[in-house]
Structure 1
Amino acid sequence: MGGGHHRPTRAVYVSSLLLCLLLVNLEERFVSANRSHSNPPATAPAVSPVASSPTSSFQPSDSYLINCGSSEVKLDDGRIFKSDTETSSYLSTNEDIQTTADSIPDTAFTNSTPSSLMDVYKAARIFTSDSKYLLYIAEPGKHWIRLYFYPLHHDKYDLKTAVFTVQTDKYVLLHDFSMDDSKVVLKEYLVNATQRLSIVFKPKKGSFAFINALEIEGVPDELLSDSASSVPEGSTVNGLSDFALEVSYRLNMGGPTITPKNDKLARIWVPDVPYNMFPQGTEVATGKNIKYRPENKMTRLVAPEMIYETADRMMSEEQAQTTLPNFNLSWSMSVDPTFSYLIRLHFCDIVSNAIHELVFNVYINGLIGISGLDISDKAGGLATAYYTDFVLDSSAITNDSVMVQVGPITNTNGGTPNAILNGLEVMKMSNIADSLDDLYGVDGLYKGPKSNKLKIVAITGLVLAAVAMLFLVFVCVRWKNRPQDWQKGKSFSRWLLPIPGGKTNYSSRKSSVFGSRKSKSGINVYTNGLGKLFTLNELQKATQNFNEETVIGVGGFGKVFVGTLDDGTKVAIKRGNHGSEQGINEFETEIQMLSKLRHRHLVSLIGFCDEDSEMILVYEYMANGPLRDHLYGPANKPTLTWKQRLEICIGAARGLHYLHTGAAQGIIHRDVKTTNILLDENFVAKVADFGLSKAAAMDQGYVSTAVKGSFGYLDPEYYRRQQLTEKSDVYSFGVVLFEVLCARAVICPGLPRDQVCLADWAMQWYEKGMIEQIVDPKIAGTICEGSLKKFTEAAEKCLAEYGVDRPSMGDVLWNLEYSLQLQEASLQIDQSEDHTNFIGLEKVNETGELANSDPNLAVAVAAESDDSNVTVGSQANAANVQGR
């Protein structure tokens, strides 16, 4: 036994095994750490990258979640945003300016930026000079960049006025970015990153920049393909990895908001309802047990199961209440038409009982994307996730929007027509300047089409030289043939440049300069009869050089400033987005339309400016602003009484009635909404914003035109047929009437599906005979039953499905005036009953007149006309009212 080898005991084996495992584990950690942080910045902090979500099995190669200007925060989805004060070596800036807040108001959040992200907006870092975050990239490739902005209060810096640019080493993400209101903003990008990624903040001269939080994360390979189909159908676009992308829209069809907690890549998906152009033809389908096929590059990282578990599908023809059996489901989203877009459609057949049962067409902006798409065939089975990508070139963008449609093929072999869509993503593609905002590159230089100014200067020089040569020849000839007594003339120029009649026509010269000029669009705009032609200097002086503090509104055309002219007149000055080629048609239309229209209930155009590439319109100042602000706007606005609301609606109806019948040629406004009904200091209503207006084609009763307008107010018949009529304005005004009655927004995406659209919701209650249940609680107890009944009857008729069934604006006006008279009559009657529940006190008999009321109270109402008076009892005459 001595000198022999001893067998190791079990304890020795176990101890050795544990020691080996420990050493292997330590080695793996060491290798991983070196792989993730090889060649880090010289002052790299000892901070590990943060996982995107504890519920995700996917671990990005790079993950930097940075809370700017404050301490670490942990979100409810499990992600932890590290403080940039603790990771300051990532940050290069000359100053350390920070601001924080205890809370963010709920009103600052929408579905696109859910309040679950509130904590990342509670702090901000402010930059007064160029500054950047420099981050090490372990694995080159596509990376998310998410930028979080909210203008917190700071004693010295008003973040709402900040103007700045944000860019990477190669791409411009934001150019001269600013925030117009107090809503949180989340900007999301996909960019290529190599060994290092810089996020640079460059304040505009005299301004500053800020950021609340910053997120950089690696993207899985299966998320983005390098190629996509182009529209129209037939070709393929390659090289998509060379573009930077900005997420413009990410929609969940038929489903709720999906927050980062429920998405492995921390994405936000919002309901499609606000963008659905034909909700009355849409119903929601649901499914379960969704399958992913890796061989199709489909995993849960492409989109979560919740996207494929719901879909929008076509209703039957009877349910949809349409005479078009093969109608399309349609979604429209506003975009910048100077960029191309990558459009991703998500499909999953959760409605069929067998494969090859669901076949339909896909259209992008009216162009065929896929003809006869068989989802189950493409996906490889039922309830199986599938997506397809399209590239839409900027040249194919019309109406400043992207429209996605799905609809049945014409030959369904006897089957029921159907089409579905589960999810939709729209992403802006970087342009020739490697920018996602304007045409300026990272060097600050303009990269767009070369200006024609040099050509114009050269041509002008040649023309002037030729004219000078001819002039010299002319002078020489005239001098040679000069009269002998030329010295007796009053001047050299009298015989050299003779003027007919012997007098200079200064009045003609003045007219030619002031009476006609080239507009920005190159079209002659004659100022004679079109109001005053303002100089840019005059308007700069009136607005303190367009000081942000004088901004009273912001619209699609641009900002609206309040200004004071030299004579003390207060005016509203609408300035088009500077340097933009958009809005030229609206600018011209507004001038041409308003120059011909003068009415007490239409906002008057005072003049315009078209100098130095500006498009500026000057209007009379409306002291009380848009009607919407008094219904559910800022809390400091006093509540409008029911009588005031009726008078405002009547004023707006008179303005629209005048447009339709009183102008030399009927005019269709095309954008009737509460933000385009303005109130003066006496709460007199005036219709504004005629940029989309069209002259009516009286011979055929409609105008064939591209669909334009505002979501929630748009006439569904106009949308389906693309034929604009006066009844399209009537429909929009009907929505306005319910908006006035209920004091709520026309589209509320956060509400249950049946309440999202005000028009549909109000009609449901009207059909139940319970409209009083949705009246604005602030005035519910002050409306007499007769007035309410007449008002809602008018609104309901306006919302008829077909224009032929809707009343004229003259009829609507008559009903509103009658409603006001009933309200005034009820107030004059000596009531002995309790007024706490005023609705229901007055009864209306079968003829529509007040029962038990003084007949003398039904007095004639004087119409606002230059030459006619109309009694309330005569609807036929009321329809011919012409306002001043």
Structure 2
Amino acid sequence: MEKKPKGPPLDVHLSLISSSMAIFAVLFCVLMVVPSVSSVGAPAKSDSFTPPDSYLLDCGSSQQTTLSDKRVFLSDQNSREYLNYEGKDLVVSVPKADVPLPIYLSAKVFSSEATYTFRMNKAGWHWIRLHFFPVSGNGANLQQSKFSVISDSLVLLHEFSLGKESGWVMKEYLVNVTNQQLSIKFNPAKDSTAFINAMEVVSAPDMLISDVGNSLVPVAQTSGLSQNSYQTVYRLNVGGPKVESQSDTLGRTWAEDRQYLKPENAGRNVSVEPKVIVYPDGNSPLIAPPSVYSSAMEMGDANTVGPNFNVTWSLDIDTSYSYLVRLHFADIVSKSLNDLYFNVYVGGKKAISGLDLSTVAGDLASAYYKDFIVNSSMGVSSPLKVQISPMNEAAGTKNALLNGLEVLKINNSVNSLDGEFGADGKTAGASRGSVAAVGFVMMFGAFVGLGAVAVKWQKRPQDWQKSKSFSSWLLPLHAGDTSFMSSKSSKTSLGSRKSAFYSSTMGLGRYFSFAELQEATKNWDASAIIGVGGFGNVYIGEIDNGTKVAIKRGNPQSEQGINEFQTEIQMLSKLRHRHLVSLIGYCDENSEMILVYEFMANGPFRDHLYGKNLPFLPWKQRLEICIGAARGLHYLHTGSAQGIIHRDVKTTNILLDENFVAKMADFGLSKDGSDVEGQAYVSTAVKGSFGYLDPEYFRKQQLTDKSDVYSFGVVLLEVLCARAAINPALPREQVNLAEWAMQWKRKGLLEKIIDPTLVGNIDPESMKKFAEAAEKCLAEYGVDRPTMGDVLWNLEYALQLQEASLKGKTEDDNLAVASAASPSPAPAPAPSTNLDNKSVSSSEQAKQPSEVQAIDEHSGTAMFKQFAELNGR
């Protein structure tokens, strides 16, 4: 990372340590102890960090140097504590120069090999920052110096020279130190010298780059990211001013981004107060400070942009290396949740499709980051382009944003960050054959469309290419349109890291060995089976010292099961939503096809409605579960460019977690709308469950998202009537729930057939609104059915009516006790609903009683207002 006085702002000179680190250094200086930091200190908090190791050296200075931020750089002059150098000391210094810091005014010069050694108090990530400025004097021509710098076995600089450049330079590295001491060796080229002005070796938090699971990098490596070393190439505060190191949580400097924006007027700066930024679980200000997330670049012409318009950052890179690209997001522009969907591109390839920050980050102004690996073997081009653009297919505000951008170079195959030569003299060319082979395999993998794959590849079992193995049919799936939505914060124990790595297909998460899953299910004990399907069995298991998971083990003898398994992989590899069951990982060992999901403690929704003698679900809770399922389906239909049709919506595929949060499951029959781009339907053989099948789909074999809407209408009737969609044991006219219930609805007597436990506990207006929604879903022709966005709006309204009714009853009871009862007006139904693709007008809303308009953020209706204008989103 280089910077001249008037050069690019990304190669920053300051890279300062955080305030806590500065205080630590000052205290030690005052106490006159050894300048290496003690390992004793207060436990690090999520928003602060005290480095176990902190070495700051002003090389060649005759005395310690105190910077304006109170950091103290100790002199290395007349001290052999750190420096091992057999040659004659040569020091060059000047009283003043055009440099940002006084540590550049002196330099230590070496005519032969010299090594600085630092004792490490704790292993882990460490910053190494090297400061260079060609100070003139004492007959030394540092401008022409040529030398290499090696840290242990890692080449930091190879035959480095400032050449014609006369400005100052700072190089920043992030290395994982595993030994008790760290050495930094300066090796002059023949007939030349080496020099250094100042040096920093400072601990960094482990969370900065974890081994596995903290980010969605499309890699296929066994050891994870912590086995690599990195050099900071770009660190940009997008849309905001330069963030100096004293304002950063880890002493980093974030440069302005404008000079990399192409064209400059494509984006517009936006900002909020840093205090409004929140950090959800699994994130921390140590990743990036609030000052980065509180500013952003949005579309220059938000909400009126053309379909191909985007904001582009062009970044020059060395294409012989791979890079970790970290993108920082916080939705500081939206006024409501689920209103902003946009696409993200890295290297000209779609990296994130339909990013919904309010879902993945959990709230507005909530910090969120995403990591990607851009691999040299897949044809990286320079400049590297990072782009954002609106998702024009989705409703809501047509906008996109980016808050921060980091690009870190990854060491090559000979452990070098500069040039093709390793510390042992070997060249990267010796391993190019294996790298090319990896690139060839990956080219047929899920990252063809991304152009982003890993540096290393785990050797697979010998029979991994068998025709029915998991990997053999997994590799070609969904190239080019993968949504990176899985959790950044999943962790594995040290014992399981050997088998935990990123799949060659993006989104599959953690790799499990067959032995691990065999142990988790007690050798596939039949008593652990919690589900059975065409693919095979689903088992409950325990991993990582007690974490419960659902383990779906494919049956290799079932061709239908294999097809459904493959489809489920395709869907889950690009989907992530609070109301969709999450995929944790997989196993493809010895031709097995095993997927591991989050465990849904309360099982299928159907079990709580009838047949299992489980506790009664009140109407309000049933509504909240329906709303959650509707949100999941709405996301499927609108969250990607072409949308996804579930095709098997039923109460057994709506699962409930320990808090009764509903999540859609079982995507084995799902269809991607991209199969028929440009058409309004998918021509396909009829599949689904009897009782839920769309009659139009059955007749024409033309599948649309309105087929899911019809099935969801049947689900709503199951919820209301607490009986199966098809029950052959009943009289003929009652066998089909949809037909039977609609007959009673048309008679105006639907309340006669509802679940008896709901009688007297359901608000009539709430039931009426709910029944109207179900009736619209069950329209004979798809064109007459509402979208899932419309259904969601009406379910929210039905819930609001129920809550208003409960509130009114409570108030009535209290007033009666006080002998001052004044009847509350009954909640009126909405004069107009968007079941007919109309939104409720503001004048009509004004006529609704205050009890209906009040929204409790914990009631499940806090999002109600934003749905008033969904109109088929």
TM band (smaller chain)? 0.3 to 0.5
Q: Scaled by the length of structure 1, what TM-score is found?
A: 0.42
**TM-score under structure 2 length normalisation:** 0.43
Give the number of the structure with larger relative contact order, counting CA–CA contacts within 8 Å between residues 6 or more apart. 2
